[in-house]
Amino acid sequence: MNIRKLILQGEGTMLDFKKTITNNEKIAKSLVAFANNKGGKLLIGVADNGNIIGVKSEDEERYMITKSAHQFCKPAIEPEFEEIYVDDKLVLVVNIPKSDTKPHYALDENKKWWVYFRVNDKSLLASKIIVDVIKKSNDAIGQLIPYTDDEKKLFEYLGQEGRITLKQFTRLTRSSNKKAQKIIVNLIVSGVLKPNTSEKEEYFTTT
């Protein structure tokens, strides 16, 4: 593995940098977000800007991550570890495989369990729609998506506006929230729609 080349890619959907591990809840959030998406790698001993700091205590870092994966993630996650030296500095690579038992929940500081999902370079709290997408993606192979008037209105709207929220879609089709949500979930799972999250709202675009 070429660590320098990997670091040059920058943090993203399947890659995260950590200088050190100091908090079980925070690392559980990252582990769960990767497992609920496509999997990914944590590079321990690498700063956010890509500088290689190296880990001081490899055993301590392993212990913290394993504890987080087993006690702060539900179902538990099984990380795989690699040790790579760069200029005498040790980088601990933590591989998180894509999970077959998702959704995974992470325990927060208030002892509550939440689902997280990886979007770009952030581990975000999953909305109800994303939780449904995660659940459905486990057995979505070969699924046929119906193309009704509601889907037609959705794509016509997206062709004009470029984006749509769940609230806008329910108004557009005069559907119940539950029905509109089901349509959007099916289209995300099938790869036709893409969820996006801003500070203000969740919205959907074509892929």
Which residue, 84, 113, 103, is CA-closest to 7? Answer: 84
Predicted pLDDT of residue 2? 87
Burial classification of residue 83, based on how many CB atoms lie within 10 Å of its CB (0-12 exposed, 13-18 middle, 19 or more buried): exposed
3: helix, coil or strand?
helix
pTM summary value: 0.82
Predicted pLDDT of residue 145? 64
Tens place of pLDDT per residue across the chain (207 aa): 788 999 999 999 999 999 999 899 999 999 999 999 989 999 999 999 999 999 988 899 999 999 999 999 999 999 999 999 998 999 999 999 989 899 999 999 999 999 999 888 889 999 999 999 998 877 655 556 667 899 999 999 999 999 999 999 999 999 999 999 999 998 988 889 989 887 788 999 998
Predicted pLDDT of residue 198? 78
Predicted pLDDT of residue 120? 83
Predicted pLDDT of residue 147? 79
Beta strands in the chain (DSSP E): 15-18, 40-44, 73-74, 80-86, 89-96, 105-107, 113-119, 122-125, 193-197, 202-206
Domains of the chain: 3-125 (3.30.950.30), 136-206 (1.10.10.10)
> What is the C-alpha to C-alpha distance for residues 87 and 52, in angstroms, rounded to an integer?
9
